[in-house]
Amino acid sequence: MPELPEVETTCRGIRPYLNRTIVTDWIVRDPRLRWPVAKELDFLPTQSILDVQRRAKYILIHFNSGTALVHLGMSGSLRITDPDTQWKKHDHIALTLSNGRQLRYHDPRRFGCWLWAGKQPLEHPLLHSLGPEPIGEDFTTDYLYQRCRQRKTPIKTLIMDASTVVGVGNIYASESLFLARIHPQREAGSISRQRIDKLKNTIQQVLEYSITQGGTTLRDFVREDGSPGYFKQQLRVYGRENEPCLRCESSIQRIILGQRSTFFCPRCQS
DNA sequence: AAAACTACCTGAGTGC
DNA sequence: TGCACTCAGGTAGTTT
């Protein structure tokens, strides 16, 4: 499931192939994504690609006339291929480039999107009210502590809310809370500033380390060259229900929180 | 304002 | 082998 490290890995992977190329062809085999693929993208051929950036889990591809917003949803991936590579069942979109390569968008569950955001992409409705990047100077202990004040919501729900901080999905939320030794159901407003400081640091460490591993591959995620990410081997609680805690050997528990599976150690996390 | 919940989608896995 | 069913999850949008 693409979370921030997977999107960052994808961005870094495709950027060298896209920057300073010209779009020679734009192919949409199936426009039915979360929202229909934007019709403005039909004008991409002959345009130059200026840069590829990431904001939250959105990939921003900057062309001369504006920016495309690409989201991988839950099962999306982008690969660099040769144009004559056999299409796979859920390859929905392709962007052919002047360097002879092709960018392929694959998304079995079709929860992703390809939208047009014009010349001021950060003002697009999907981007303008997002919280700070977790790996960036705006995500401070004071900020996170203030966001928690008076909030009765479980801390896991709060850190997964993109208006608080972007990029922390279900996997990394469980992992960060384990490392910070905070119970996922703990009321956000009841946590001390010291533990919030610890949590802010563990969120950053987990995400940064996962990026060095190329992200986490559970099922679908592949890098731009088709290879998996290796952070799965580093997961301490996610997906380990009834397995021993790596710290105290208690049985890892799974609960449902905000409709999502949540893993934690009942002894280490209070 | 905040919290809780829904919808969107397909493949994998399970039980009969 | 096949059918019916559940589960997984990012996040915008709706309801309480």
Query: Among A118-122, A183-187, A205-209, A230-234, which stretch is predicted with the lowest mean pLDDT?
Result: A230-234
- For the residues A202-218, what does the mean pLDDT come to? 85
Q: Which nucleotide is nearest to A2 (CA to C1')?
A: C10
Rounded to the nearest integer, the mean pLDDT of chain A is 91
Nucleotides of C under 7 A from a protein CB: 7-13
* CA A161 to C1' B11, whole Å: 27
Q: Which of A50, A61, A205, A62 is nearest to A134 (CA)?
A: A205
Neighbours of A235 (CB within 10 A): 20
Residue A241 among the catalytic residues: no
Burial group, residue A181, by CB count within 10 angstroms (0-12, 13-18, 19+) = middle
Q: Which nucleotide is nearest to A163 (CA to C1')?
A: C11
- For the residues A87-102, what does the mean pLDDT come to? 94
pLDDT score for A3: 82
Residue A260 among the catalytic residues: yes
> In terms of pLDDT, which residue wins out, A63 or A231?
A63
Query: Of A181, A232, A260, A267, which is the active-site residue?
Result: A260
Closest CA-bearing residue to C1' of B7: A34
Say whether the CB atom of A56 is under 7 angstroms from strand C: yes
* CA A34 to C1' B15, whole Å: 32
* CA A130 to C1' C11, whole Å: 12
- For the residues A55-60, what does the mean pLDDT come to? 93
β pairing state of A58-63 and A66-71: antiparallel
Residue A101 among the catalytic residues: no
**Residue A79 near residue A224 (C-beta atoms within 8 A):** yes
pTM: 0.94
Q: Compute CA distances A213 → A216, A223, A256, whole Å.
A: 8, 11, 28
State the Rg of chain A over Cα: 20
Residue A221 has pLDDT above 90, yes or no: no
Say whether the CB atom of A260 is under 7 angstroms from strand B: no
Q: Which nucleotide is nearest to A71 (CA to C1')?
A: C10
**A126-146 residue pLDDT tens:** 998 899 999 999 999 999 999
